[in-house]
Amino acid sequence: MDFEDTPEEAQFRAGVRDFLAKAAEPRPPGSGLVYRAGNEDPKFRERAKAWQAKKADAGYAGITWPTHWGGRGGSPIQQVVYDQEEAKYAVPRGLFDIGLGMCIPTLCTWGTQEIRDRFAGKALRGEEIWCQLFSEPAAGSDLAGLRTRAEPDGSDWIINGEKIWTSGAHYCDWGVLVTRSDFAAKKHDGLTYFFIDMRSPGIEIRPIKQMSGASHFNAVLFKDVRVPDSQRLGAVGEGWKVALTTLMNERHTIGGRVGAGVEDVFELARKLDLGDGPALQNGAVRDKLADWYVASQGLKYVNFRTMTALSRGDTPGPEASLGKLVNASMLQNIAAFAMDLMEQGGVLCDPNLAPVAGAFQQTLLTSPASRIAGGSDEIMRNIIAERVLGLPPEIRLDKTLPFNQLPTGKR
Amino acid sequence: MDFEDTPEEAQFRAGVRDFLAKAAEPRPPGSGLVYRAGNEDPKFRERAKAWQAKKADAGYAGITWPTHWGGRGGSPIQQVVYDQEEAKYAVPRGLFDIGLGMCIPTLCTWGTQEIRDRFAGKALRGEEIWCQLFSEPAAGSDLAGLRTRAEPDGSDWIINGEKIWTSGAHYCDWGVLVTRSDFAAKKHDGLTYFFIDMRSPGIEIRPIKQMSGASHFNAVLFKDVRVPDSQRLGAVGEGWKVALTTLMNERHTIGGRVGAGVEDVFELARKLDLGDGPALQNGAVRDKLADWYVASQGLKYVNFRTMTALSRGDTPGPEASLGKLVNASMLQNIAAFAMDLMEQGGVLCDPNLAPVAGAFQQTLLTSPASRIAGGSDEIMRNIIAERVLGLPPEIRLDKTLPFNQLPTGKR
Amino acid sequence: MNFDFSDDLKALREQARKFLRQRCPTATVRRVLEGPEPYDLRLWQEIAAMGWTGAAIPEAWGGAGLGHLGLCVLAEELGSALAPTPFASSIYLAAEAIMLAGSDSQKQAWLPKLAGGTIIGTFALAEGPGKADPGKLFTTWRGGALTGEKLPVPDGDVADLAVVAARGERGLQLLLVDLNGPGVTRHAVDTIDPSRSHARLVFAGAAAEPIGELGRGEALLRRLEERAAVLMAFEQVGGAQRALEMARDYALQRYAFGRPIGSFQAIKHKLADVWVATELARANAYYGAWALSRDAPELPLAAAAARISANEAYFLAAKENIQVHGGMGFTWEFDCHLHYRRAKLLALALGSTRLWKERLLLELEAANAPL
Amino acid sequence: MNFDFSDDLKALREQARKFLRQRCPTATVRRVLEGPEPYDLRLWQEIAAMGWTGAAIPEAWGGAGLGHLGLCVLAEELGSALAPTPFASSIYLAAEAIMLAGSDSQKQAWLPKLAGGTIIGTFALAEGPGKADPGKLFTTWRGGALTGEKLPVPDGDVADLAVVAARGERGLQLLLVDLNGPGVTRHAVDTIDPSRSHARLVFAGAAAEPIGELGRGEALLRRLEERAAVLMAFEQVGGAQRALEMARDYALQRYAFGRPIGSFQAIKHKLADVWVATELARANAYYGAWALSRDAPELPLAAAAARISANEAYFLAAKENIQVHGGMGFTWEFDCHLHYRRAKLLALALGSTRLWKERLLLELEAANAPL
In sequence order, what DSSP letters do the residues of A321-340 get, joined into one string?
A: HHHHHHHHHHHHHHHHHHHH
Tell me if residue C169 falls in helix, strand or coil: coil
**Residue C271 Cα, gap to closest chain D Cα (Å):** 13
Q: How confident is the model at residue B30 (pLDDT cuts 50, 70, 90)?
A: low
Q: How confident is the model at residue B411 (pLDDT cuts 50, 70, 90)?
A: confident
- The pLDDT assigned to A33 comes to 45
Buried (b) or exposed (e) across B361-395, using 16+ Cβ within 10 A? bbbbbbbbbbbbbbbbbbbbbbbbbbebbebbebe
Q: DSSP per residue over C325-367, as a string? A: HGGGGGBSSSTHHHHHHHHHHHHHHT--HHHHHHHHHHHHHHH
Q: Which of D190, D201, D225 to probe by mutation at the B interface, max B CB count within 10 Å?
A: D190
Q: How confident is the model at residue A37 (pLDDT cuts 50, 70, 90)?
A: low
CB contact under 8 A, C2 and B293: no
CB contact under 8 A, C3 and B392: no
**Residue B8 Cα, gap to closest chain C Cα (Å):** 11
Q: What is the pTM of this model?
A: 0.96
Q: Residues B131, B171: contact at Cβ < 8 Å?
A: no
Residue B253 has pLDDT above 50, yes or no: no
**Does B1 reach chain A within 8 Å, measured CB to CB?**
no
Contact residues, chain A, for B286 at CB < 8 Å: 283-284
Strand A203-208 and strand A217-228: pairing? Answer: antiparallel
- The pLDDT assigned to C171 comes to 95
Q: Which residues pair with C122 in a beta bridge?
A: C162
Contact residues, chain C, for B5 at CB < 8 Å: 1
- The pLDDT assigned to B310 comes to 85
* Mean model confidence pLDDT for chain C: 97
**Facing B302 at nearest CB: one of C5, C283, C364:** C283
Residue B259 has pLDDT above 80, yes or no: no
* Residues A21, A38: Cα–Cα separation, whole Å: 23
CB contact under 8 A, A368 and C340: yes
**Facing B275 at nearest CB: one of D133, D254, D336:** D133
List strand residue ranges (DSSP E) for A6-94, in order. none
pLDDT digits (tens, 9 = 90+) for A52-64: 999 999 999 999 9
Percent of chain A with pLDDT over 70: 96
**Facing A305 at nearest CB: one of D286, D305, D360:** D286
User: What single-letter DSSP state applies at residue A5?
Assistant: P
Contact residues, chain A, for B285 at CB < 8 Å: 283
C10: left (phi over 0), alpha (psi -120 to 50) or beta: alpha
**Residue A265 Cα, gap to closest chain C Cα (Å):** 14
pLDDT digits (tens, 9 = 90+) for C119-141: 999 999 999 999 998 888 999 99
Contact residues, chain C, for D266 at CB < 8 Å: 265, 269
Q: Which residues of C touch D (CB under 8 A)?
A: 264-266, 269
Provide long-range contacts, Cβ within 8 A and 24+ apart, for D7-12. D9/D66, D9/D69, D9/D70, D9/D73, D10/D73, D12/D66, D12/D70, D12/D73, D12/D74
C264: nearest CA in chain D? D265
CB contact under 8 A, C331 and A210: yes
pLDDT digits (tens, 9 = 90+) for C232-281: 999 999 999 999 999 999 999 999 999 999 999 999 999 999 999 999 99
Contact residues, chain B, for A400 at CB < 8 Å: none
CA R_g for chain A: 23
Where chain D has pLDDT below 70, the residues are 368-371
Phi, psi of A148 (to 5 degrees): -65, 125
List strand residue ranges (DSSP E) for chain D, in order. 121-124, 140-142, 145-154, 161-168, 171-178, 184-189, 198-207, 209-211, 255-256, 259-260
Q: DSSP per residue over A209-222, as a string? A: PBTTS---EEEEEE
- The pLDDT assigned to D1 comes to 82
* Mean model confidence pLDDT for chain B: 92
**Residue D135 Cα, gap to closest chain B Cα (Å):** 9
Residue A36 has pLDDT above 60, yes or no: no
Name the strand (E) or helix (H) holding B265: helix B262-271
CB contact under 8 A, C256 and A145: yes
**Facing D126 at nearest CB: one of B344, B349, B381:** B344
CB contact under 8 A, B353 and D189: yes
CB contact under 8 A, D326 and B341: no
pLDDT digits (tens, 9 = 90+) for C75-130: 999 999 999 999 999 999 999 999 999 999 999 999 999 999 999 999 999 999 99
CB contact under 8 A, B282 and A286: no
* Residues C362, D3: Cα–Cα separation, whole Å: 49
* Residues A49, C270: Cα–Cα separation, whole Å: 45
Contact residues, chain C, for B308 at CB < 8 Å: 1-4
Contact residues, chain C, for A372 at CB < 8 Å: 322-323, 326-327, 329-330
Residue of higher predicted confidence among D190 and A41: D190
* Residues D291, B317: Cα–Cα separation, whole Å: 57
Q: How confident is the model at residue C327 (pLDDT cuts 50, 70, 90)?
A: very high
CB contact under 8 A, C337 and A365: yes
CB contact under 8 A, B6 and C2: yes
**Residue A383 Cα, gap to closest chain B Cα (Å):** 20
Q: Which of B343, B349, B396 to probe by mutation at the D interface, max D CB count within 10 Å?
A: B343
* Residues D275, A381: Cα–Cα separation, whole Å: 10
**Separation of CA B292 from chain center:** 24
Q: Residues B266, B294: contact at Cβ < 8 Å?
A: no
- The pLDDT assigned to B410 comes to 76
Chain D contact partners (≥3 CB pairs within 8 A): A, B, C
Best CA proximity match to D97, nearest among D25, D23, D175 = D175
Q: Which of D259, D263, D264, D265 to probe by mutation at the C interface, max C CB count within 10 Å?
A: D265
* Number of C-beta neighbours around residue C140 at 10 A: 15
Active-site residue B378, yes or no?
no
**Residue D46 Cα, gap to closest chain C Cα (Å):** 48
pLDDT digits (tens, 9 = 90+) for B194-245: 999 999 999 999 999 999 999 989 999 999 999 999 999 999 999 999 999 9
- The pLDDT assigned to D348 comes to 98
Please report, for residues B367, B376, C338, D330, the alpha-carbon distance to residue B371 in angstroms, rounded to integers and kept in the order given: 7, 6, 36, 10
Annotated catalytic residue within A9, A40, A250, A386: A250
Q: How confident is the model at residue B251 (pLDDT cuts 50, 70, 90)?
A: low
**Residue D53 Cα, gap to closest chain B Cα (Å):** 24
* Residues B202, D88: Cα–Cα separation, whole Å: 50
Q: Which residue type occupies B96? A: F
List strand residue ranges (DSSP E) for B139-263, in order. 149-153, 156-167, 174-180, 191-197, 203-208, 217-228, 232-233
User: What single-letter DSSP state applies at residue A284?
Assistant: H
Residue A410 has pLDDT above 90, yes or no: no
**Facing D275 at nearest CB: one of A77, A299, A388:** A388
Q: Which residues pair with C171 in a beta bridge?
A: C168
**Separation of CA D214 from chain center:** 27
Best CA proximity match to B278, nearest among B294, B290, B267 = B267
Please report, for residues B283, D43, D53, D161, the alpha-carbon distance to residue D158 in angstroms, rounded to integers and kept in the order given: 40, 15, 16, 9
Binding-face residues of A in 61-100 toward C, CB within 8 A:
none
Q: How confident is the model at residue A32 (pLDDT cuts 50, 70, 90)?
A: very low
**Does B326 reach chain C within 8 Å, measured CB to CB?**
yes
* Mean model confidence pLDDT for chain A: 92
Give B278-325 as a 3 state SS string. Answer: EHHHCHHHHHHHHHHHHHHHHHHHHHHHHHHHHHCCCCCCHHHHHHHH
**Facing B409 at nearest CB: one of D151, D253, D353:** D253
- Min mean pLDDT across B87-96, B131-140, D114-123 is at B87-96
Cis peptide, bond prior to residue C152, ω within 30 of zero: yes
Residues 6+ positions from D28 with CB-CB distance below 8 Å: D40, D43, D84
Q: Residues C85, C47: contact at Cβ < 8 Å?
A: yes
Cis peptide, bond prior to residue C36, ω within 30 of zero: no
Q: Which of D149, D172, D191 to probe by mutation at the B interface, max B CB count within 10 Å?
A: D191
User: What single-letter DSSP state applies at residue A199?
Assistant: T
A297: nearest CA in chain D? D284
CB contact under 8 A, B294 and C284: yes
**Residue C281 Cα, gap to closest chain B Cα (Å):** 7
Annotated catalytic residue within B250, B263, B267, B319: B250
Residue of higher predicted confidence among C81 and B400: C81
CA angle centred on B225, ends B222 and B229, rounded to 5°: 125
Q: How far apart are the first and last CA of chain C?
A: 20
- The pLDDT assigned to C121 comes to 98
